[in-house]
Amino acid sequence: MTNQELGENIRKIRELKGFSQQNLADEIKVDQKTISRIEKGDLSPKFETLSAISKVLSVTLSQLLSFNESLIFNNYNQYQQGGSYNAYNNTEIEKVEDLYKQLLKEKDEVIALLKAK
């Protein structure tokens, strides 16, 4: 992995997590220019810095090094022949269940309101 690839991974994860370069720099106690240089691939970070970045971004070092944005989003690859596809969904099942229960509750409330009229 090149410094540029590592820097791109850090930038993408940082942005997905909602951190600015300054926020990340403050958390790991470096200046913002250091984060910028790492993300551009101009600076090879020390292990301690990488470890601190992964901790702040709540990812493992392995995830930081092997980040693949196509697995983060609800994507699918459709093959032209055979019509099969692979779908990736990283939404936690508990969140899906909670949303489904909320929708059912709202549906029942609407039905009760309509019946009351």
Q: Check residue 79 and give its pLDDT.
A: 44
Instruction: Number of helices (H) and strands (E) in the chain: give both, helices first.
Output: 6, 2
pLDDT grade for 98, boundaries at 50, 70 and 90: confident
pLDDT grade for 100, boundaries at 50, 70 and 90: confident
Q: Is the pLDDT of residue 73 over 80?
A: no
Quick check: is 15 in a domain?
Answer: yes
Quick check: is 25 in a domain?
Answer: yes
Q: Check residue 29 and give its pLDDT.
A: 95
Q: Check residue 97 and give its pLDDT.
A: 78
Residue predicted with more confidence, 101 or 79: 101
Record the tokens describing residue 70, joined without a space. 């196509």
Quick check: is 54 in a domain?
Answer: yes
Quick check: is 109 in a domain?
Answer: no
Quick check: is 103 in a domain?
Answer: no
Q: Which of 50, 41, 47, 49 is nearest to 3 (CA)?
A: 41
Angle at 28 between CA 26 and CA 34, to 5 degrees: 80
- Residue 49 belongs to what domain range? 3-67
Overall residue count recorded for the chain in this entry: 117
Residue range 5-38, pLDDT digits in tens: 999 999 999 998 899 999 999 999 999 999 999 9
As a whole number, the mean pLDDT across the chain is 82
Residue 55: which residues within 8 A CB-CB, separation 6 or more? none
Domain count of the chain?
1
SS3 43: coil
Quick check: is 97 in a domain?
Answer: no
Return the CATH number at 62: 1.10.260.40
Question: Which of the given ranges, 24-28, 69-73, 111-115, has the highest pLDDT on average?
Answer: 24-28
